[in-house]
Structure 1
Amino acid sequence: MTMATTQATRQATRQATHQDARQNAPEQAPPAAPFRWRRLVWPAVAVLTAVVVMLPADLLPAWAVKYPAAWHLPLAAWISDVMKWLMNSASFGLFTVRDLTRALSAVLNIPLTMAKAIFATGVMQGEGSQAVQLFPPIPWFSLVIAATTVSYAIGGLRLALGMALGLAYLAVFGQWTSAMVTFASVLVSSIIGAIGGLLLGLACVRSRTLERLISPLLDVAQTMPVFAYLLPMLILFGFGPVSAMIATIIYAVPPMVRITIVAIRAVPEEIEALGRMTGCTRHQITWKMLVPSAMPALMVGVNQVIMLSLNVVIIASMIGAGGLGWDVLAALRRLDIGGGLEAGLAITVLAILLDRFAQALAFNARRNRRAEHSRRRVRHAVYAALVLAAAGWLAAAHWPTIAPYPEGWRLSTAPFWGDLVSWININFNGPLDAVKTFILLNILAPVKQFMLALPWPWVVAVTALAGYWLGGVRLALTVGLMCAFMAVVGLWPATMITVYLCGVAVMISVLIGVPVGIACAQRPALRTVVEWIIDTLQTLPAFVYLIPIVMLFRVGDFTALIAIVLYAIAPAIRYTAHGVAQVSPHLIEAGVMSGCTRRQILTRIRLPLAVPDMLLGLNQTILLALSMLVITALVGTRDLGQVTYAALAKADVGLGLVAGLSVAFIGMIADRLIAAGSARLKARNGH
């Protein structure tokens, strides 16, 4: 390509990104340094890092090689002491904190018990083995008919057919009862989480100060491993499904809060002005004008709450949630690959059904001015569904034998999956073991040794330098202090192992995901197939990945690496495909007219403009890798996830929260640096 062509392409690219770049540029970024030495800074840092690692340990100060134990901040012990004080001594006059939390647990148990009675257990009298069923739950056939009818009214024939097939799968493969227990928990958690997130988001819209105060808490709640929530919930609210539900709500509510803030502020100012002109009160403006106008975006938040609630059902089963999560966890413990996959696929089916149903509700919210006859059709369908459900329920109460799905009609794929893994182990054990050994010896072990050999002050300094380089002094202090936190609390070695394993997994995910995403952007048919695959990978519970991988490769870092890559690769593919595909056709046409080849259009137009989207995908890949990394502690890793899991086993609240906060800080450091880098890149392309 000629120099004139190159200049024309660059000019078109700059014009297309100039306006967006100005809006997203860092507010307090340091002034640009002269290009001659600026481009040499990071190569110099890389060389110095290699030199520092190769230096003999005795040439470095002992405090730099290993953070002195005498300098450790006993934060974990302080948190544990505070928790003991809260539960044993703290009071509010007439009642103690334990009384308050147990009362809240009893209140939250009411809707949960009602939901389980309707869908799973029926109305029971007594407890444990002495319990007697007074009235059965809704039978499977009645719920299938009712749900299919409502789905048809809301989303049409396609949604109704999918709902019928999905629910039939749960019944045919013997997962109905466990699925209904999970559904009841997710239903109550999602309703409480959505309402709580909406109210908190509205409060943040009214008060910028409140938004600034809770924003870091939302960041921590989204990035801290759910394992870290379990023990405090267990101590505060007791063992059982209520504690699991509260942990689920804490994990799932942040997206609803953030989406509410964005959606309400995106409502045109004219709507609120109209409300004031017509004499509406503040309450009326909020609930009769702003919230209905923002309903499509709010339904996206509800969808996110549902999916995140389903994502933690297995982890929550550790403290008494039950349902499909417990089935998967039990199968993992006994290495029952068939049973684990069937229960995991049942969670996936349930997730897909709820996701599609929520999307249909969101789509209807966008058409909030539907014709009256359409609204009547939905109402009549809902009434018919309720009548059918009630009729089936009454019939099952009179003839209990018709309520459960017939045992003789059930199918199972568990033996097939077990035999398949056994066959692979018998016939391909040698090649699989060779691949595992090669990657362990040539990639994982060297990177692990390198990370553990880095002096902690050097890592903190380089992290702070990256923050200053990308976002200024404020960002440098933020990421530097977060990085130093892991050393101060005595978790530096576990942190480095976490960074090593997460880093290798993210690198592999990017090396695979970016080419696949580019291919998907250019081939719609391939994109359809890949989208289906990654949708399945994202809805499949994280624990389910471990079962076949452990059966094939046993426990260890390599097993964890494969599970993390499978779980985290989806954003790398999806965001790359989106970024490459959404480049303006006018720029592509300008490149073609300038004589660019197809490869030049990709490398000099599409990819440079897609880099911000690709960086966002990288950010999401890192967060998913960290969340999966904590779960892989069950297969023998020695990172912060293992510390969190061990703290749960030892009932050490402080250690679990500190380790979870360390994982959250790793994710937040990556998020802040990538966001600042993306903004700087946009600003540079705009000049």
Structure 2
Amino acid sequence: MIRGRAASWAFWLGLAGITAVLSLNGKEIAQATGLSWLTKYPQAWQLHLDRQISAALKWLLEEATFGPFQFRDFTRLLSALIEAPYTLLRNLVVDGFAWGRGQQAVPILPPMAWLPVILGFGLLALRLGGARLAVLVTAAFLYLLLFGLWQSAMVTLVSVVIAVPLGVLGGAALGILAFRVRWIDRALRPVLDLMQTVPVFAYLVPILFLFGFGPMAALVATVIYAMPPMVRITTIGLRGVPEEVVEAGRMAGCTRRQLLWKVQLPSARRMMMVGVNQVIMLTLNMVIIASMIGAGGLGYDVLTALRKLDVGRGVEAGFGIVVLAIALDKLSQAAANRGPRDPSGGSWLYRHRWILAWAAVVVASYPLAMAIPPLAVYPAGWQLSTGGFWSAVVSWINLNLYDQIEAVKVAALTWVLVPVKTFLLGIPWAWGLVLAGTIAGGIGGWRLGVMAVLMTGFIITAGLWPEAMITIYLCGVSVVIAMLIGVPIGILAGQNDRAYGVVTLILDTLQTLPSFVYLIPVVMLFKVGDFSAMIAVVMYAIVPAIRYAAVGIRGVDPQLVEAGIVSGCTRGQLIRKVKLPLAMPSILLGLNQTIMLAISMLVITALVGTRDLGQEVYIALTKANAGKGIVAGLAVAFIAMMSDRIITAAIARRTAARETHA
């Protein structure tokens, strides 16, 4: 065994040594041997997949026919189906109803006043989660009202209300199909993997090409992006129904359809509500990003503030996103934890008294709003603003701490970021192909090695090798920093109940923050560039590093800890030699999730001036170049999938080794 470990260490050290030599001297070696094409992939060899994809999409949109119908008829039908309820809800709470169009439009009914909206969500929270939740949700909507974010928040809320049911129903339908038909399950797995790793901007590019600029395109992209978790969780929930429950349904004479609708789906309800929660969070995150293609709402307010460097408005709109996300998150969690309602208690009027009371308030609000204008539109003079405060804070920091911030920034660039970037950019593409296959194959077997070679080959032949290396450099440095900070915090929280409670509360809050929000303080304090991108990625990706380390430490068997204490271990030895080795699979899982979040955030940081694959996707979005956006998005997805498979294989090996020793 010792010889095997020594040989393994020698192999990996040798591989690292060759990589270092080729990175530092690859160009000189290639020129001396006349093989310069090994260091820079020849442009003539590139496949130009972006052009072919763009041409295919153009043909699909302009020429493709299915019987008597063209493909554009399908996109128009889909847009119309989504546009009808969206327009109705938007008119109800934002624009009001009018007869006619444009300047000739005659107002018929004003939008619903703010009071019944706040009251309606407060009553819903009271019904689902009690007084505490009602106070929280009401306070969240009051913040949106008092700080002048009401109209933008309602636009965002309408998008969420339309997109979430579509995502839930579509995801649940596909999940049921995957549960019932094995080949559909096998076919959906790689598609779902791809959908969950393709960066959010990449969704917008082909959707923008097919559906045009506007809220309909944004909603289609949102539904597609938010659907995969519902598919997976529905399938897992149905498979997790106890066999004895299913057998009892069969013995009761249920048909296959009755078994599904009356036994399996009700039994999987709690798990499926977790999927609904995930769809809500992803929908809110995507709706914010989709503001770039015409969705409007709070995301557009944040984007405008970033472009204008309006610190105060950006922070207020960012907090608006946060409070709306928290309110919707808590409501969905309360709905998931609430048991099925007993329909037999009391009369119909009694059972629906809350809805009837709210409907009465809605009806009464229209004449009241006409008589009392502040009930219709909250007066601008009554609104609050912290814009001056936040601008003053940022100005004070920039005036008094500029030298210290700049010193940290320069040190990080000089000693960490630039050397790592230079090293990775120096790796020849040919050796990178060998390296990817060797690492993946050595950890996960030959199948994983072949997959890594094929995916890396796609990136190389697409002419994106330098951009991929910059992506790996930014992601790698950010993940290392996030793990170095997050794992010790997780270890501390895992050993102290009070610290665990505080950390969990902070992490739950951070998980509700859309990725867009992290850019606001970063841009205001650190301006743009790789350092700013790294800070934003660390802030966004540190949550799983902390959470999984804490969960792993808390999950260690107390009997093993007691055995270590009896053996005379000090507190430090107990952590290093007992708890950490046993918690390592959980920590590695946290590493995997940290990498996934870091890669997804890197695409967002394209807004702060990075030059990686995320920037390629963003440029494709601004130019409506669908082919380029899809190719760059697939490159990001392949990097994410390779890292996911390699770490998953490492976790499996670690777990198997621990079970063998046990």
TM-score, structure 1 normalization: 0.92
Q: CA deviation at 1:174?
A: 1.0
Greater mean deviation of Cα atoms: 371-380 or 104-113: 371-380
Contact 2:553 2:583 in 1 (8 A): yes
Mapped partners of 1:378, 1:32: distance in 2: 71
1:533 to 2:506 alignment: yes
| Aligned counterpart, 2:363 | 390
| Aligned counterpart, 1:638 | 611
1:270 to 2:244 alignment: yes
| Aligned counterpart, 1:515 | 488
AA paired with 1:36? A
1:358 to 2:332 alignment: yes
Q: State how many pairs are aligned.
A: 656
Contact 1:123 1:134 in 2 (8 A): yes
What is the SS of the residue equivalent to 2:569?
coil
Mapped partners of 1:74, 1:502: distance in 2: 26
Listed one character per residue, the Cα deviations across residues 25-57 of structure 1 (whole Å, up to 9, x for unaligned) are xxxxxx999333123221221122112223251
AA paired with 1:556? G
Alpha carbons of structure 1 residues 130 and 507: separation in structure 2 relative to 1, 3 Å: farther
Q: CA deviation at 1:457?
A: 2.1
What is the SS of the residue equivalent to 1:133?
strand
Alpha carbons of structure 1 residues 474 and 276: separation in structure 2 relative to 1, 3 Å: same
Mapped partners of 1:132, 1:218: distance in 2: 47
| Aligned counterpart, 2:312 | 338
Task: Give 1:475-554 correspondences, 5 Å limit.
Answer: 475-554=448-527
Task: Give 1:178-193 correspondences, 5 Å limit.
Answer: 178-193=152-167
Alpha carbons of structure 1 residues 522 and 125: separation in structure 2 relative to 1, 3 Å: farther
Q: CA deviation at 1:522?
A: 1.9
Q: CA deviation at 1:107?
A: 1.3
Q: CA deviation at 1:625?
A: 0.9
Mapped partners of 1:103, 1:56: distance in 2: 55
Q: CA deviation at 1:648?
A: 1.3
Q: CA deviation at 1:374?
A: 13
1:35 to 2:5 alignment: yes
1:96 to 2:70 alignment: yes
| Aligned counterpart, 2:437 | 464
Contact 1:142 1:393 in 2 (8 A): no
Larger RCO (CA under 8 A, 6+ residues apart):
1
Mapped partners of 1:130, 1:538: distance in 2: 46
| Aligned counterpart, 1:607 | 580
Greater mean deviation of Cα atoms: 656-665 or 274-283: 274-283
Alpha carbons of structure 1 residues 276 and 625: separation in structure 2 relative to 1, 3 Å: same
AA paired with 2:254? C
Q: CA deviation at 1:377?
A: 7.5
Alpha carbons of structure 1 residues 101 and 358: separation in structure 2 relative to 1, 3 Å: same
1:431 to 2:401 alignment: no
Pick aligned residue for 1:560 from 533, 547, 561: 533
What is the SS of the residue equivalent to 1:77?
helix
1:665 to 2:635 alignment: no
Q: CA deviation at 1:87?
A: 1.5
Q: CA deviation at 1:459?
A: 1.8
AA paired with 2:445? G
| Aligned counterpart, 2:415 | 442
Mapped partners of 1:371, 1:525: distance in 2: 43
Alpha carbons of structure 1 residues 583 and 127: separation in structure 2 relative to 1, 3 Å: farther
Mapped partners of 1:532, 1:370: distance in 2: 36
Contact 2:553 2:579 in 1 (8 A): yes
1:52 to 2:52 alignment: no
Pick aligned residue for 2:594 from 621, 630, 647: 621
Alpha carbons of structure 1 residues 132 and 216: separation in structure 2 relative to 1, 3 Å: farther
Q: What percentage of residue pairs aligned between the two structures are identical? A: 50
Mapped partners of 2:241, 2:412: distance in 1: 52
Task: Give 1:108-123 correspondences, 5 Å limit.
Answer: 108-123=82-97
Greater mean deviation of Cα atoms: 84-93 or 319-328: 84-93
Q: CA deviation at 1:399?
A: 5.2
Contact 2:544 2:594 in 1 (8 A): yes
AA paired with 2:568? G
Mapped partners of 1:399, 1:240: distance in 2: 34
Mapped partners of 1:326, 1:129: distance in 2: 25
Mapped partners of 1:246, 1:338: distance in 2: 32
| Aligned counterpart, 2:298 | 324
Mapped partners of 1:143, 1:191: distance in 2: 19
AA paired with 1:619? N
Q: CA deviation at 1:279?
A: 2.5
Q: CA deviation at 1:397?
A: 5.6
Listed one character per residue, the Cα deviations across residues 569-607 of structure 1 (whole Å, up to 9, x for unaligned) are 111111111111121222222222222221122111211
| Aligned counterpart, 1:16 | none
RMSD: 2.1
Listed one character per residue, the Cα deviations across residues 411-463 of structure 1 (whole Å, up to 9, x for unaligned) are 11111111111111111111111111111111111000000000112222222
AA paired with 1:290? Q
Contact 2:26 2:427 in 1 (8 A): no
1:107 to 2:81 alignment: yes
| Aligned counterpart, 1:204 | 178
Mapped partners of 1:470, 1:56: distance in 2: 26
Greater mean deviation of Cα atoms: 104-113 or 534-543: 534-543
Mapped partners of 1:377, 1:575: distance in 2: 46
Q: CA deviation at 1:272?
A: 2.3
Mapped partners of 2:503, 2:248: distance in 1: 47
Greater mean deviation of Cα atoms: 608-617 or 460-469: 460-469
Q: CA deviation at 1:395?
A: 3.3
- Structure 1: stretches of 5+ with no match in the other structure: 1-30
Contact 2:122 2:134 in 1 (8 A): yes
| Aligned counterpart, 1:11 | none
Pick aligned residue for 2:233 from 236, 259, 273: 259
AA paired with 2:387? A
Alpha carbons of structure 1 residues 79 and 583: separation in structure 2 relative to 1, 3 Å: same
AA paired with 1:57? K
Listed one character per residue, the Cα deviations across residues 319-378 of structure 1 (whole Å, up to 9, x for unaligned) are 11111111111111111111111111101100000010011111013x667994799976
| Aligned counterpart, 2:190 | 216
AA paired with 2:181? S
Alpha carbons of structure 1 residues 428 and 607: separation in structure 2 relative to 1, 3 Å: same
Alpha carbons of structure 1 residues 372 and 608: separation in structure 2 relative to 1, 3 Å: farther
1:64 to 2:38 alignment: yes
Task: Give 1:116-195 correspondences, 5 Å limit.
Answer: 116-195=90-169
Listed one character per residue, the Cα deviations across residues 638-678 of structure 1 (whole Å, up to 9, x for unaligned) are 10011111111222110100000100111101100010100
Listed one character per residue, the Cα deviations across residues 476-499 of structure 1 (whole Å, up to 9, x for unaligned) are 111221122110111101000110
Alpha carbons of structure 1 residues 129 and 528: separation in structure 2 relative to 1, 3 Å: farther
Listed one character per residue, the Cα deviations across residues 498-519 of structure 1 (whole Å, up to 9, x for unaligned) are 1001110111101100111111
Mapped partners of 1:89, 1:32: distance in 2: 65
Contact 1:510 1:618 in 2 (8 A): yes
Alpha carbons of structure 1 residues 627 and 132: separation in structure 2 relative to 1, 3 Å: farther
What is the SS of the residue equivalent to 2:385?
coil
Mapped partners of 1:127, 1:434: distance in 2: 58
Contact 1:464 1:480 in 2 (8 A): yes
Mapped partners of 1:378, 1:359: distance in 2: 22
Mapped partners of 2:541, 2:599: distance in 1: 9
| Aligned counterpart, 1:292 | 266
1:81 to 2:55 alignment: yes
Q: CA deviation at 1:401?
A: 4.7
